[in-house]
Structure 1
Amino acid sequence: MKPLSAPSLNRRWGAAAAGVVLLAGLLPAQASAAPQARGAVGAADQNAKGEELANYDSRSALTAPARPTVTGEAAGLAAKRLAAAAKPGSPPRKLRDQLGVQGIVDIDGATGTPRRVAKLDGFLTGASRKKPATIALDYVKAHSDVFGLSATAVDQLQLRKDYVDIAGTHHLSFVQSVDGVPVFGNGLKAHVAKDGRLVQVDGSPLAVLPNSTGGSKLTAAKAREAAVQNVLGDSAAKATSAAAGPTRTTAFTDGGNAQLVMFQTATGPRLAWRVVTVDEGYVHVVDAADGTVLYRQSTVQHDSGSVFPNYPGAPAGGKQVTVDLGKWLPNNSPRLAGNVAHVWSDVDDDNKASASEEIAPSGKRSWNFPFTDFSTAAADTGCTAAFPCSWDPKTPNSWQKNRAQNAVQLYYFLGLWHDHLKAAPIGFTRSAGNFEAVDDDAVQGHTMDGANTANGLPDPRHVNNANMNTPPDGIKPTMQMYLFRPVENGPFIAGNSGDDADIVFHEYTHGLSNRLVVDAAGVSTLGSIQAGSMGEAWSDWYALDYLVGKGLEKDTSKVGDLRIGRYVGKGQNLIRTAPVDCPVGTTSEDCAGTPGAGPGGYTYGDFGKIAGRPEVHADGEIWAQTLWDLRTAIGSKKARSLVTRAMELSPANPSFLDQRNSILQADTVVNGGKLSAKIWSVFAKRGMGYFAGAIDGDDFQPVEDFSLPPASDTPRGTLSGKVNDALSKAPLAGVVVGFGGHASGFAGDYVATTAADGTYTITGILPGTYPKVFARMPGYDTESRTVSVAARANAADWTLRRNWASTGGGSKVGSFTGVDYTEYGCGPAALFDQSLGAGWVSDAKLLQTPGTAIEPRTVVLELPKAVDVTELTINPTAACGDAGSASTGDYRLETSTDGVTWTVGSQGHFTPADRKVNTVALAAGSATGVKFLRYTMLSTQVADVQGTCPGNFSGCEDVDSTEIGVYGNPVG
């Protein structure tokens, strides 16, 4: 492995890895031809510093199913705990039974300890006058066999924070530590209502900690250097101070820091550095021994625009009025800096407020700068009185006319939104982690960012975007607002994102969600595809809720009149595929939907289909439309309260269903559960009913269901059947048959394993139609179908197709070339693990500079039996968090009967359109008696995305392929 500098270390499991959650913005990538700003999700293959790289968490490999390449003490311990929890009568099963039909005992596959313990229709304990921390820890001690923590271990937990929300609920965060060094990402969170009833416990604590931390070979500065190099950054911030305590916390000139933490790996907790790089916009965890990147998450949220009233020319709120800035700005302030924000025009994009970029008042205590309309000067842009332009893209420095006006506008929006989020019923206060200078945490607002990067004009990387970088609490967030201009496939006006309330409110709200959905150490956990989609939806929803509530946007009885993208898109629906107020099943032309998802309001089953692939902007529309339904059903004030409280109750990296459950819990806490029926009705109508299923927040194929919770005394049914091999027809033993969303291995789950004769029986099934019942076992492709279960005996037989390339079925990797990333779950064996969430990653060593051809990277696979191949599939897609350009381009596949003499079966070039499972035709004479495969990656897809190497592209560092499958008849 390449320590310290390799972007190839940026690994993240899950097919959704390409949708970087914390980088989500308002504009889908296809809506703009211009390259996106640094870190824009769904953007083209290149950004301001190069290519978009996904979030990465090496702990994800510990939970990957049927992955024999991932071994180690910690992985073994977790596996043992999971196996024990799945047994009848186990402590987790008993607790789940005690909690009832709506109880949750969710065990983390990486730790074997609870990710979440809760009761959706009640509390875990009764009312109490004890201290909230005592209530929580007493419960954990009482269920030590579930949580995996002894009484001594519980007593050693350190209370990091006891935050009381405006509803009176205590949100407690307990940190585990070794020799005073905190454990990163794992710990314990608990939530106690104001009357002392325990709402929920979550956090996935580590059941076993080492006796000591060991030593660090890397300094804080070297760890930061590794983090910067990991994202192809150029920050050269220097250390300003270093503490002498156990964490050796070191501050840097960009406002970030580095501190020692313990991080869970396959071999157990290791000493590492947690590095926050404000200049680059990331949180990293770097191994303290060799600089290997163990975790990376962006703290930047991007969007490309938002158009709603309160922009120049809007029907309501479209005219300049005099406002009082005194509540946010000190008397006689010489610049736009106060408790809520510091705003300046960072036109050179150096992230520094030079004297020429600060905004001075127009007079004594006066900040009156009239807006100059460029609609006439920029007539070819199509600007009108309803959509006036604020600059002329053909005239250098024309943006200077409105530079001061726009900075004042942004400062006002930031102050206004700070106060709105702080007030009831949202309650984003200082203790909740909001942004105020008194905590050295005010928003740093950059207007017209990069406007002067091309001789008086913005370069292509500084237009049609905006972003919000939200580091952990205590480190200043940064908001960058760009100019907009027309592009080939996006008729935007020549406007300014800082003039648009919706853009600013959207960006700021990313800060709200990133500060409330956190782990026990306060680090944001919006790193999965579903969590990132909700991040986009929350930002849209809070902004729309406010604008409609203030009468700046109208929600009439007409379907589809809440359209995002009205201003910068000149009234066209460019920013989202559909309005927010599209009910399920509508036939309105305004809610036409997309070819993949179909017309009408979106439901959970549309996830991954709206944009033709999992994409946080598009998939977030499902959640936004659902929340708008909720607002309609229970009212704006109650919806704001429950949606916010649900963020505070959220487990890490939540799915839509996790957050549905959190909203139900919030109602239990705030309203005594009075709105439960309405909440269930809203979510059920959107496909998030009781029987909906999602493996986790990274599941991009969730199972939708429209049912309300059944009564606990509902008669049950059974499902029995037999599983056979599709070719031999022989019975298969050890096949897991389960119901998607109800097969997590705990009490009440619908799951069984076939006996020696291939038979199985699942009992206690609530009657209904289940759309994702599956049968799976290593070495065979998973089969799934829709099954209807009645309150009687039901039958379903299965036939499974053997995949001879599967390592789970006995294939073995014999040899390979290139760097070995096996310990990160990205070695050559991952090419044959039947998982599209992982793949083989190797180093892409260039044959010439510049160029894209690489030294061949070859892997040899020995099949368990010789096979007459009838079908062979290759998925060349980039894996483990690499961006698309790392996908295999040129390839060669050879076969052999003896591992000595080889025959070329197929060769050619994969393009970006081939980033999927492709059936490859084998040449004559290469498909008979095949015992060995040799697959060679010859180039990446950098050239296919108009890139060159060396350059800031994943494909200049790595070459990847996701999966190979082999099907056919065994010989002999």
Structure 2
Amino acid sequence: MPHPEWSPWMSRRRRRLIPVLAATAVVAALLPTGISSAAPAGGAAPAERRSGPFAEGYQHADVDNRAGSAAPDARQRGLARKADPDVRWNKLGTPHALGPGAAPLATGLPAEPEAAARAYLAANRDLFGLDADAVADMERVLVRPVGSGAVVTLRQRFGDLPAGYDGLVTLAVSKGKVLSVSSSLSRDAATPTPATLSEEQAYEAALTDAGLDAAAVASHSVRTVAVPTPLEGPRSAYEVTLIGSDSDHPAAFTTYIDGITGKVLVREDLVDFDSENPSWAVFPATPPRNLGPGQDPRVRWCADPAPGCRDAYRDPATGNAWDVDAATGTPTFTSRGNSANTVVSWGAGNPMVPATTSPERRYEYPFTDQWHQAKCNPEVFTSAQRNDTDAAIGNLFAMHNRMHDWAYQLGFTESAWNLQAVNLTPDGLGGDAEQGRAQQGALSGNRNNANQGTPRDGLPPTTNMYLWQPQAGGPYPPCVDGDYDMTVIGHEYTHAISNRMIAGPDSGIGGHQGGSMGESWSDLLATEFLFQHGLRAPGETPFIVGGYVTGNLVSGIRNYDLSRSPLNYSDVGYNTGGPAVHADGEIWGATNHRVRSAMVKRYGLGTPKLQLECAQGKVPADRCPGNRRWSQLVFDSFLLQAASQVSMLDMRDNMLTADLLRFDGKNQDLIWAEFARSGMGRDAVTNGAGDTDPTPSFASPSGGNATFTLRPRGESADAPIRLYVGAYEARATPVADTDPATALGDTVELVAGTYDLIAVAPGFGHQRMRVTAKAGHNGHLDLKLDRNLASTASGATVSGDGVNLDRVADDTEATNWASLDGVAGKQVTVALPGDKPHVVKRVNVSAMLRPAISGDADAGSQNALSSLRSFAVLACNAKKADCTDPANFTRIYTSKSDAFPGGAYRAYTRDINLREFRVPTTQATHLRLEVLASQCTGGPAYAGEQDADPATTTDCATASPARDQVRIAEFQAFSK
């Protein structure tokens, strides 16, 4: 569902094109409400998949029509389990992942990494199904030294055809040992029947599938490949990459067309927006939040040190200044160089043009902060300053170059398929500098977004950056230009990094968990870039993404600040709209930040000088502070992943393997402990990259765990209590329960640490608690829950306004009550169980939203601004008055106006989940929960006219459909 939470960067995953581009392109984006475009036809594809809006609810249009699964035989399973008891399988009948374990998968192999990898595969024919000839025919894709070992990636061939999709294997090799294997290999390596269709027919089939015509395509490429299938063996196919020409609604797909039937085998949505010393005027992080008229605090960056230049930078790949064309060795005198090509892209039929030419190479264009100072007034587009377009282009160009240069030192080089027009080494293809589009769609009304499209190596990726503007009932950002927010720019560029480095040069990141991690890596590395360079974007901590563009300094575009998040693997799907790559990506972000913090605790932060020298690649990782070591492991882990369908557990294992290669395994205990604290411990299980309900585990294989057995007490002694780790119950996965009818046991194992827990049971509502797990402890967790008097399971009945009345009293936040025809004064009345009055001392209330439920009276999308903000509790005692008469209810509690606070930009999930409120001790047979305001009608951040755009009205209470809707998930009442 479109979520006014910007959907945190809808960016997504792949190495594909602009919003995701390309031969395999990926688009990644930032917001909660983004630009929509028609869904491609064919397959049961979700609407559209691209990186953007930072957009929650965006569904990627990936399709895999290859039916079935090639099941491994008993001998193969036995061999795999012997190598790794936790082996995971791909659909083509070979191990998806093996290792790392306590011992190497193989020893005594050749010292040369590629020879060792081939020897291992040939020696394990019964496991992988490839004979010596098939292994010898495999194409070398990558051999990258890492620490004491190397990462080796090989591509399978089927007859004369290379694998186009899948068919890759990546091995971590060190000193004649194989430490881990990631594979999308096929056991069936037969030569496929030759294609009978022509390239043109394949192109037409791909156009039809994408819902495009040739006139809507800016460029396309077609090549012959083989695509392995689980049940029909390898198929001759055409890999067709389409890049749409509509910059307002970016579209890019790589489609694999069966060369005989013309059917779509696989579709990937590529869209996860006179001097020899040139200089640029830039904001290294962001502009100040409250910049006054006429102020221009930008700094000057130059190619070489000089008076007046804050810093000096050159391209580490070529040694040239950023504005030099590496093919000719001469300056371009504008916003084009070897690593970036940046233009303004207003849309609405306007041409995309680079920055104004500067013969002196002084790219210090005037900046007046026009969009902000004019409060989004569209007259800026016809002014002489043209909304500071040259300044925006220059800033975006410089930031893309900085991300290129920083990532280059971490391993995103030509051999890892980076983004450069010209590669000066024999590695990679070149021809794919980052295409930056400043103020994308400004005249088409596109706002509040950012996205990245990343196609395969050799095809240029694209970032779209947008203007930000408040929207009635949607996000409420300030009037700012995203081209100046480095956290957003770095986020989008990192989509290209992860999609290029994972799964080889022609594929990108797939699956819900993969897409979620793609969003997370983009947040993590954008903030880490700034940290390592001593820079700070707006926010209460350095680990907030989008604070400048959203105006929210608590968590930016996300539900949580990366460094202050309670999320863990049991929370997949926790967000108000259900599973979403931006919200679930925060789980991976929280986990990685815990690993980073532990690395910092072990190795320190060093000095600012050492941080900078490490960021510039002048000091090797094993002599750098903990945060730099962590970022190096992240980059190394990308190269260890051969299959595009990737889960969080896959990448956990890759981090462990990277540590074995890079740091000789010195951090295995630390990495395992933090992943365990995040629910990805020893016994965690996932059903593949698309799994939105994985099984968490909080136990470390290294020991140091505590064991707790649930012991219900008091009135709840016989209740089927579910126990959750973290802050959420709705759509989260319990770690233990006391219900003998379920397969889940009543014992939970936790690695040492402090945990927030939630105990939930029918008739007893929610109880939050905190427990400290000490290594080696084995004991009970006493659960003495108080009766929820307002629960239908306790005998309460519900009446009142709106729809889904009973769902406000069903002891779960996964469902909710709604009023769809008004807000203030709407109420639900709960008749407490029995005939006698009950003492009431506290209530729990939740304003959580939920995904659409088919057949529900409130089945449609739920706007976050329709959640409850403030309320009153009224009581009546039927022993003293007639409780059918509203006049006999007395108000006993009035909440604060921000009981569920909401925040600048949007109402965040963390703000609307269940909260406890103490009420005056009251005897009652009936309780009434009365709505005072919703987020829309009562939130000051969403009230009034907030811009000077005559074509828009921003006041939520008068201009948004959310003004008439309010939702409440739970109302619980207790005597204690």
Which category describes the TM-score, using the shorter chain as reference length?
0.5 to 0.7
Instruction: Output aligned runs, 1:31-70, within 5 Å.
Output: 39-40=49-50, 54-59=61-66, 61-63=67-69
Deviation at 1:197, TM superposition (A): 2.8
User: Partner residue of 1:92?
Assistant: 80
User: Partner residue of 2:498?
Assistant: 513
Instruction: Output aligned runs, 1:119-138, within 5 Å.
Output: 119-126=100-107, 129-138=110-119
Question: Is 2:265 the counterpart of 1:282?
Answer: no
**What is the CA deviation profile of residues 4-56 of structure 1, one whole-angstrom value per residue up to 9, with x for unaligned ones?**
xxxxxxxxxxxxxx9965466454535x6998997445879999xxx965211
What letter matches 2:129 in structure 1?
G
Instruction: Using structure 2 for the length normalisation, give the TM-score.
Output: 0.59
User: Partner residue of 1:225?
Assistant: 204
Deviation at 1:128, TM superposition (A): 5.3
Instruction: Output aligned runs, 1:651-690, within 5 Å.
Output: 651-652=642-643, 653-690=645-682
Deviation at 1:442, TM superposition (A): 1.0
Question: Is 2:151 the counterpart of 1:171?
Answer: yes
User: Partner residue of 2:32?
Assistant: 29
User: Structure 2 CA distance, aligned partners of 1:393 and 1:150?
Assistant: 66
Contact 2:192 2:235 in 1 (8 A): no
Question: Is 2:528 the counterpart of 1:540?
Answer: no
Contact 2:226 2:236 in 1 (8 A): yes
Classify 1:667/1:216 alpha carbon distance in 2 versus 1 (closer, same or farther; 3 Å): same
Deviation at 1:625, TM superposition (A): 1.4
**What is the CA deviation profile of residues 764-802 of structure 1, one whole-angstrom value per residue up to 9, with x for unaligned ones?**
x999599xxxxxxxxxxxxxxxxxxx999xxxxxxxxxx
User: Partner residue of 1:195?
Assistant: 175
What letter matches 1:617 in structure 2?
H
User: Partner residue of 2:297?
Assistant: 319
Equivalenced residue count is: 633
User: Structure 1 CA distance, aligned partners of 2:537 and 2:483?
Assistant: 22
Deviation at 1:406, TM superposition (A): 1.0
Question: Is 2:196 the counterpart of 1:216?
Answer: yes
User: Partner residue of 2:392?
Assistant: 406
User: Partner residue of 2:369?
Assistant: 373
Classify 1:546/1:211 alpha carbon distance in 2 versus 1 (closer, same or farther; 3 Å): closer
Deviation at 1:201, TM superposition (A): 2.5
Contact 2:372 2:480 in 1 (8 A): no
User: Structure 2 CA distance, aligned partners of 1:714 and 1:562?
Assistant: 31
Contact 2:226 2:234 in 1 (8 A): no
Contact 1:377 1:392 in 2 (8 A): no
Instruction: Output aligned runs, 1:108-127, within 5 Å.
Output: 108=90, 110-126=91-107
Aligned to 1:537, the other structure's residue is in SS state helix
Classify 1:449/1:44 alpha carbon distance in 2 versus 1 (closer, same or farther; 3 Å): closer
Deviation at 1:683, TM superposition (A): 1.0
Classify 1:29/1:185 alpha carbon distance in 2 versus 1 (closer, same or farther; 3 Å): same
Question: Is 2:558 the counterpart of 1:576?
Answer: yes
Instruction: Output aligned runs, 1:605-644, within 5 Å.
Output: 605-634=570-599, 635-644=626-635
What letter matches 1:310 in structure 2?
A
Question: Is 2:568 the counterpart of 1:603?
Answer: yes
What letter matches 1:225 in structure 2?
E
Classify 1:517/1:227 alpha carbon distance in 2 versus 1 (closer, same or farther; 3 Å): same
Deviation at 1:429, TM superposition (A): 0.6
User: Structure 2 CA distance, aligned partners of 1:360 and 1:287?
Assistant: 47
Deviation at 1:611, TM superposition (A): 3.4
Contact 2:31 2:55 in 1 (8 A): no
CA RMSD across the alignment = 4.3
User: Structure 2 CA distance, aligned partners of 1:420 and 1:150?
Assistant: 42
User: Partner residue of 2:916?
Assistant: none
Question: Is 2:509 the counterpart of 1:526?
Answer: yes
Deviation at 1:104, TM superposition (A): 4.7
Aligned to 1:184, the other structure's residue is in SS state coil
Contact 2:168 2:185 in 1 (8 A): yes
Aligned to 2:185, the other structure's residue is in SS state coil
Deviation at 1:561, TM superposition (A): 6.4
User: Partner residue of 1:484?
Assistant: 468
Instruction: Output aligned runs, 1:804-819, within 5 Å.
Output: none
Classify 1:553/1:308 alpha carbon distance in 2 versus 1 (closer, same or farther; 3 Å): farther
Question: Is 2:334 the counterpart of 1:348?
Answer: no
User: Structure 2 CA distance, aligned partners of 1:701 and 1:534?
Assistant: 16
**What is the CA deviation profile of residues 634-666 of structure 1, one whole-angstrom value per residue up to 9, with x for unaligned ones?**
121110111111111124222111111111111
User: Partner residue of 1:645?
Assistant: 636
> Which residue, 160, 176, 190 being the options, matches 1:180?
160
> Which residue, 119, 124, 133 being the options, matches 1:143?
124
Aligned to 1:673, the other structure's residue is in SS state coil
User: Partner residue of 2:486?
Assistant: 501
What letter matches 1:638 in structure 2?
R
**What is the CA deviation profile of residues 153-202 of structure 1, one whole-angstrom value per residue up to 9, with x for unaligned ones?**
323x3223233145364333322223311223332423344534323233
Deviation at 1:262, TM superposition (A): 3.3
User: Structure 2 CA distance, aligned partners of 1:549 and 1:227?
Assistant: 44
**What is the CA deviation profile of residues 391-444 of structure 1, one whole-angstrom value per residue up to 9, with x for unaligned ones?**
633554357241111111111111111100001xx2111111101111112112
Classify 1:768/1:698 alpha carbon distance in 2 versus 1 (closer, same or farther; 3 Å): same
Classify 1:351/1:620 alpha carbon distance in 2 versus 1 (closer, same or farther; 3 Å): farther
User: Partner residue of 1:592?
Assistant: none
Deviation at 1:698, TM superposition (A): 1.0
Contact 2:370 2:387 in 1 (8 A): no
**What is the CA deviation profile of residues 843-891 of structure 1, one whole-angstrom value per residue up to 9, with x for unaligned ones?**
xxxxxxxxxxxxxxxxxxxxxxxxxxxxxxxxxxxxxxxxx99x989xx
What letter matches 1:692 in structure 2?
A
Classify 1:643/1:297 alpha carbon distance in 2 versus 1 (closer, same or farther; 3 Å): same
Deviation at 1:337, TM superposition (A): 1.6
Contact 2:54 2:451 in 1 (8 A): no
User: Structure 1 CA distance, aligned partners of 2:159 and 2:86?
Assistant: 33
User: Partner residue of 2:739?
Assistant: none
What letter matches 2:80 in structure 1?
P
Aligned to 1:608, the other structure's residue is in SS state coil
Contact 2:238 2:256 in 1 (8 A): yes
Classify 1:26/1:82 alpha carbon distance in 2 versus 1 (closer, same or farther; 3 Å): same
User: Structure 1 CA distance, aligned partners of 2:658 and 2:103?
Assistant: 10
Deviation at 1:682, TM superposition (A): 1.1
User: Structure 2 CA distance, aligned partners of 1:27 and 1:649?
Assistant: 27
User: Structure 1 CA distance, aligned partners of 2:349 and 2:457?
Assistant: 23
Contact 2:399 2:489 in 1 (8 A): yes
User: Structure 2 CA distance, aligned partners of 1:136 and 1:183?
Assistant: 18
Classify 1:265/1:214 alpha carbon distance in 2 versus 1 (closer, same or farther; 3 Å): farther
Percent of pairs with identical residues: 28
Contact 1:565 1:575 in 2 (8 A): yes
User: Structure 2 CA distance, aligned partners of 1:618 and 1:464?
Assistant: 17
Structure 2, gaps ≥5 residues long: 1-9, 15-25, 40-47, 245-250, 274-281, 304-319, 325-329, 423-429, 600-625, 708-742, 752-775, 779-850, 864-976
Deviation at 1:288, TM superposition (A): 1.7
What letter matches 2:68 in structure 1?
L
User: Partner residue of 2:762?
Assistant: none
User: Structure 2 CA distance, aligned partners of 1:358 and 1:555?
Assistant: 29
User: Structure 2 CA distance, aligned partners of 1:624 and 1:581?
Assistant: 9
**What is the CA deviation profile of residues 434-489 of structure 1, one whole-angstrom value per residue up to 9, with x for unaligned ones?**
011111121122222222xxxxxx223x2211221111111111222222222123
Classify 1:403/1:126 alpha carbon distance in 2 versus 1 (closer, same or farther; 3 Å): same
Deviation at 1:223, TM superposition (A): 1.7
Classify 1:117/1:318 alpha carbon distance in 2 versus 1 (closer, same or farther; 3 Å): farther
Aligned to 1:322, the other structure's residue is in SS state strand
